[in-house]
Chains A and B, each alone.
Chain A
Amino acid sequence: MSQARLSPGVHSGRLSADELARNFSDVAPPLDAHEARVAADRCYFCHDAPCIIACPTSIDIPLFIRQIATGTPDAAAMTIFHANILGGMCARVCPTENLCEGACVRMEAEGDPVRIGALQRFATDGLMAREGHPFRRAAPTGRRVAVIGAGPAGLSCAHRLAAKGHDVVIFEARPKPGGLNEYGIASYKTVDGFAAAEVEWLLGIGGIELRHSQLLGDQMTLEALRAEFDAVFLGMGLGGVNALRTEGEERANVLDAVAFIRDLRQAGDLGVLPVGRDVVVIGGGMTAVDAAVQSRLLGAENVTIVYRRGQDRMSASLHEQDHATSSGVRIICNAAPVAIHGNGAVAEVEFAYTEDGPDGLVLTDQRFRLKADQCFRAIGQRLEGVPVGLVLEGGKIAVTGPGRSSLDRVWAGGDCAAGGNDLTVTAVAEGRDAAEDIHALLTGGDNG
């Protein structure tokens, strides 16, 4: 065992290159043709299938599985893409046990659903590996739409608009498109640069101009965009990170989990990424799990997720929680941070056990401390840089119907819009539905 592995503090190179490569390989390797055929044969082709209803993008799952079973996986992929142009990424990151697979009647029958996510990946991977883009654009309409953010919502909206014949300009604040797909998802869920490849494939439809390093409010204003374009879609996600508001939060090595995940995704060499020997992650969502598991995979010896409420309230799915615990992450529930101790850098995090009562969460007198040389905040993100004039709801852009904001000819969708559930697939649905609404208004003469 190398010395680096056990040295306290935040260091890079705890594991060998081989170990890192193994740890960060595809967490759910793709089905081969035989596996797909066997899995597809289990679908009952239900009437008014519960899996379709459970899918935020309403993919016709029984149809695409039947298309796989009958030897036409490309047709299956088109069934998926017509509903969800980011079906490839969703196949990798959807919490399927809470969505389609959780609703599968095979759960009722045998407690073992049809492997819908894996089958979706099989179909979409196959078609995306082919030359060219499978959708064609309608005749040009001469209309132009601005899309803010090249994340799942913006990309979905842009693709649907382009398909309808409109010209789209996407303004992306970061140097690369993809949003959370590119910057915010654990590396082992989307290996081999899939997020970037998917965006490139999506843009293959044509009619979409991507301008990067364009932050709304800095490089352009909503006012100017509304003047220049026929419609604007806001899909900029959540740029801010919630603070713990805990004493000692300013100490060194108390970091945002999203930044850690982003840096890991963008790192060329995982061996240079520093990670603690004792890592504490505060939060209960996918971000917490992604940060915790990847800390372990980078070589942290002890990683603990601490969540302030009961396990049933964790927004990370059970599958994600199982993945964390089977990766050696400990999960402590019903405990909230009260102080971060240390001399300059974090050394310990102090927690109080909580009780979830009728008046909300209350801290008890029961305290404990966890050794920590690195602590990640993963307690949610918030909307930043909201343009003036937009009505908000719960800190997000208020929308009615298919993403209509309070401003004329301005739509919003994805994480920045109120009412969603922070899932990639929901963002895709919202972007798509807003595009349909924009198209209807732009072509129906009812666009003010």
Chain B
Amino acid sequence: MADLRSDFIGIRSPNPFWLASAPPTDKEYNVRRAFQAGWGGVVWKTLGSEGPPVVNVNGPRYGVVHGADRRVLGLNNIELITDRPLEVNLREIKSVKRDYPDRALVISLMVPCDEDSWKAILAAVEDTGADGVELNFGCPHGMSERGMGSAVGQVPEYIEMVTRWVKQHSRMPCIVKLTPNITDIRKPAEAAKRGGADAVSLINTVNSITSVDLDLFAPEPTIDGRGAHGGYCGPAVKPIALNMVAEIARSPETRGLPISGIGGVTTWRDAAEFLALGAGNVQVCTAAMTYGFKVVQEMITGLRDYLDGHAMELGDLIGRAVPNVTDWNRLNLNYVTKAVIDQDACIKCGRCFAACEDTSHQAIAMKPGRVFEVIEEECVACNLCVDICPVENCITMRELAPGEVDRRTGLGRGDYANWTTHPNNPMAKAAE
């Protein structure tokens, strides 16, 4: 049976599933329940400087995007960092860590952007027994207006500067948490690396308005008739997070920099995808906030079964898909597939026909008796029918054999060739 024990930048945990710094990790009671449920680690909700804590709104702080049957696809929040006194949090962290020495306990930090503030908070967390710190350069709401959170994460020079202070004033492993609210995720990751970060974690939440109250004409969540943008998370942001993780994992400048993957991890499969794209572990929040801490048990058994089924250990999975992440111009233009509809599995809903006929290439015929057939002469293999078919594996893509004629183009399938050498490319160079 695959061993799920994880060692992430020297921080050990019984599995690679950590709870992200967020409402579920704001206090001892919750974190103890999380550890009892089986979570490998937690990143304690962000601590601020000593003194009067921040205050939160007293109206709704979450907004939501629902799928069918009110399934939570995305959650947004306008909650700030912990609103409990620093000394209470520190006392509780110490108490939990003492009782759970085998679990990872990392403390998220966010203080004003000056060296003294960071020096002070690092000294304060030093004797809690925590395993490391995570620098919250990601929160896009509230704190960013005060020059913290994503206000730092959006300026690579600040990231580098603060990371350097942290490494200078603390022995603890340091994870830099990145905001996705930038144009190129590689730049802040490079800055963190330059500053001496041991790892990056991403993504923090995405700037968002989840919905608008059409009676009040105000964004939701609505506070007394007004709304502010919040941070979006949950399954909806996973594709954005996967891409950003992969960008850092394959960039020559940041290759090898440990990554803690965050963003919409809901099942073991989501976690496995982050790991395959180079994340050393994953952090979870929305799934726990939707279903409770017990979800980790499915993640543990699912990941273990998957690894066993593929005769892999955890380390074999991490980064395994990174070599296959490439640029568009490296894709094989001579790879040809055609949609195939399994008539036995087809339930005759006709959505493939409507989608292809109305919005794509008119490559599906509707025949008497509601029989839907692919017209290979028209099919460009766009995959839309596969994606919108309600029956899994009813429509699949068949790869043409080498030499087999593509009935759309009349050309036999050739060997690998990409855009860089394509005759239509004005910048094309002769094949090397």
Contact = CB atoms under 8 A, between A and B. Distances in A.
Interface of A: 37-38, 41, 44-50, 105-106, 108-109
Interface string B298-324: 000000000000000000000000000
Interface string B335-355: 000000000000111110110
Interface string B196-227: 00000000000000000000000000000000
Contacts of A108: 347-348
B68 interface: yes
Given A44-B349, A50-B348, A109-B390, 19 more contacts: A37-B69, A41-B68, A41-B69, A44-B390, A45-B351, A46-B350, A46-B351, A47-B353, A47-B366, A48-B366, A48-B370, A50-B370, A105-B347, A105-B348, A105-B349, A106-B347, A108-B347, A108-B348, A109-B391
Nearest to B372: A47
Given A44-B390, A47-B354, A109-B391, A38 B349 contact: no
B347 A48 contact: no
Interface of B: 68-70, 347-351, 353-354, 366, 370, 390-391
A91 B309 CA distance: 50
A367 B349 CA distance: 50
Contacts of A49: 350
Residue with the highest number of chain B CB atoms closer than 10 Å, among A37, A45, A48, A105: A105
Nearest to A38: B69
Contacts of A46: 348-351
Contacts of A45: 351
A103 to B, nearest CB: 10
A114 to B, nearest CB: 11
A48 B350 contact: yes
Nearest to B348: A105
Contacts of A109: 347, 390-391
B347 A47 contact: no
Contacts, number: 34
A412 B431 CA distance: 79
Nearest to B350: A47
Nearest to A46: B349
Nearest to A48: B350
15 contacts: A38-B69, A44-B349, A44-B390, A46-B351, A47-B350, A47-B351, A47-B354, A47-B366, A48-B366, A48-B370, A105-B348, A105-B349, A106-B347, A108-B348, A109-B390
Contacts of B349: 44, 46-47, 105
Nearest to B390: A44
A202 to B, nearest CB: 33
Q: List the 8 shortest-distance A-B pairs measured between CB atoms, nearest first.
A: A47-B350, A47-B354, A108-B347, A41-B68, A46-B349, A105-B347, A109-B347, A105-B349
Contacts of B370: 48, 50
Given A50-B370, A109-B390, A109-B391, A44 B69 contact: no
A44 B351 contact: yes
Contacts of A106: 347
A44 B366 CA distance: 17
A46 B68 CA distance: 16
A106 B350 CA distance: 12
B70 to A, nearest CB: 8
A73 B361 CA distance: 35
Contacts of A41: 68-69
A45 B70 CA distance: 18
A290 B347 CA distance: 34
Residue with the highest number of chain A CB atoms closer than 10 Å, among B69, B347, B390: B347
A379 B70 CA distance: 49
Contacts of A105: 347-349
Nearest to A62: B349
A49 B350 CA distance: 8
Nearest to B353: A47
Residue with the highest number of chain B CB atoms closer than 10 Å, among A37, A45, A46, A48: A46
Nearest to B354: A47
A37 B70 CA distance: 9
Contacts of B354: 47
Residue with the highest number of chain A CB atoms closer than 10 Å, among B349, B350, B353: B349
A46 B389 CA distance: 11
B103 to A, nearest CB: 39
Contacts of B348: 46, 50, 105, 108
A49 B366 CA distance: 13
A65 to B, nearest CB: 12
Nearest to B391: A109
A50 to B, nearest CB: 7
B237 to A, nearest CB: 23
B356 to A, nearest CB: 10
A445 to B, nearest CB: 40
A108 B345 CA distance: 9
A105 B370 CA distance: 11
A44 B347 CA distance: 11
A38 B70 CA distance: 8
Contacts of B68: 41
Nearest to B388: A44
B240 to A, nearest CB: 26
A106 B349 CA distance: 9
A48 B367 CA distance: 12
A109 B370 CA distance: 15
Nearest to A106: B347
B65 to A, nearest CB: 14
A38 B77 CA distance: 26
Residue with the highest number of chain B CB atoms closer than 10 Å, among A44, A47, A106: A47
B348 to A, nearest CB: 6
Nearest to A109: B347
Nearest to A53: B370
Contacts of A47: 349-351, 353-354, 366
Nearest to B389: A44
A442 B391 CA distance: 50
Contacts of A37: 69-70
Contacts of A44: 349, 351, 390
A37 B69 CA distance: 7
A47 B354 CA distance: 6
A255 to B, nearest CB: 46
B341 to A, nearest CB: 14
A47 B352 CA distance: 9
Contacts of B366: 47-48
A106 B347 CA distance: 7
A45 B68 CA distance: 13
